[in-house]
Amino acid sequence: MFSFRNQLEIAWCPGCGNFNLLTALSEALVELGLKPSQVVLVSGIGQAAKAPHYIQANVFNGLHGRSIPVAFGIQSVNPELTVIAESGDGCMYGEGGNHLIHAIRRNPNITVIVHDNQVYGLTKGQASPTSEAGFVSKTQPLGTVSESFHPLALAVSQNASFVARGFAGDKEELKSIFKQAIQWKGFSLVDVLQPCVTFNRINTFGWYKSRVYSLPEDYDPEDQVGAFKISLEWGDKIPTGIIYRHSKPIFSDLVFEKLGRKEFLNPTRNYQSIFEDEKHGFE
């Protein structure tokens, strides 16, 4: 069977949660029957952002926090592609937080995967947006005083199309979540609890394994109020699975409807000719 994994040497610490995440994503792409030419992975900066380097597919590795707008642009120009933006919690929720908010609002047909280890790993352990208050690091030796960011609560409250959480210690459930997110028509956010074994000695695999639980089969992911309550559950019990799911129009479909065409860019034309047409429309 074809594997999306390539043979490059992986530059992550032994035991890093990124390994299981990478395997789950690679297997999900295979099981969905996708080919490397059909997939684009976009990442920013950080240890998590190295994941596309180890996958055989189209890759764009760009600026810190800017993977979402690049993914949005790629998918808009070629809607046939499966476009996945992935990076760490610092990259997506810190530097890229503004892009996350507006992607939720616009609902482009992309999947966003966040390696959430509650710390900046590449730059040696600063507190990230999802670090718990009191988290001690080299740059916050007395403990961070900021409250932690709740990405899923934000996404549910803003009526995001698809919101989920996985755990790198449960590869099979994580793979199932990835497959559902990638197949979803619209914006999908998957927050992955991915322990950093070097710079976060609090939120370890053991810490998570004693707390995470899969949402029961009778849980209704289409109930926004119920999903918001679940999204805030954190501490002794941490839910995983599809937190919220809400079908709504995709950004490109709405724009196509207004433009009266089915594509942003006709293969037989170039950007300049389209620009000229649009300009005449306003004259």
For the stretch 248-257, pLDDT in tens is 999 988 988 8
Quote the CA–CA distance of 15 and 205 in Å, as a whole number.
10
User: What is the maximum alpha-carbon separation in the chain?
Assistant: 64
- Residue 263's pLDDT is what? 67
Nearest Cα to Cα of residue 271 among 80, 77, 68, 58: 77
> Which residues lie closer than 8 Å to 244 by C-beta, 6 or more apart?
152, 155, 156, 160, 162, 163, 221, 222, 224, 227, 228, 231
Give the tens place of pLDDT for each residue, 167-191.
999 999 999 999 999 999 999 999 9
Pairing of β 58-61 and β 162-167: unpaired
- Residue 264's pLDDT is what? 64
Amino acid found at 18: N
Contact 20, 171 (CB under 8 A): yes
* Overall pTM surpassing 0.85 (yes/no): yes
248-263 as b/e: b if 16+ CB within 10 A: eebbbeeeeeeeeeee
Give the tens place of pLDDT for each residue, 157-173.
999 999 999 999 999 99
Whether pLDDT at 262 is above 80: no
Averaged pLDDT score across all residues of the chain: 92
Q: How many residues does the chain have?
A: 283
Give the tens place of pLDDT for each residue, 72-116.
999 988 889 999 999 999 999 999 999 999 999 999 999 999 999
**Residue 11: inside a domain:** no
**Residue 232: inside a domain:** yes
User: What domain range includes position 152?
Assistant: 17-248
Residue 40's DSSP bridge partners are 58, 83
Amino acid found at 218: D
**Residue 259: inside a domain:** no
CATH no. for residue 89?
A: 3.40.50.970
Residue 185 Cα to chain centre, angstroms: 15
- Residue 257's pLDDT is what? 87
Whether pLDDT at 16 is above 90: yes
Q: What is the count of structural domains for the chain?
A: 1
**Residue 6: inside a domain:** no
- Residue 7's pLDDT is what? 87
Quote the CA–CA distance of 231 and 240 in Å, as a whole number.
10
Pairing of β 238-245 and β 162-167: antiparallel
Higher pLDDT, 157 or 272: 157
**Residue 145: inside a domain:** yes
Q: Which two tokens stand for residue 86?
A: 């992935």
**Residue 175: inside a domain:** yes
**Residue 194: inside a domain:** yes
**Residue 111: inside a domain:** yes
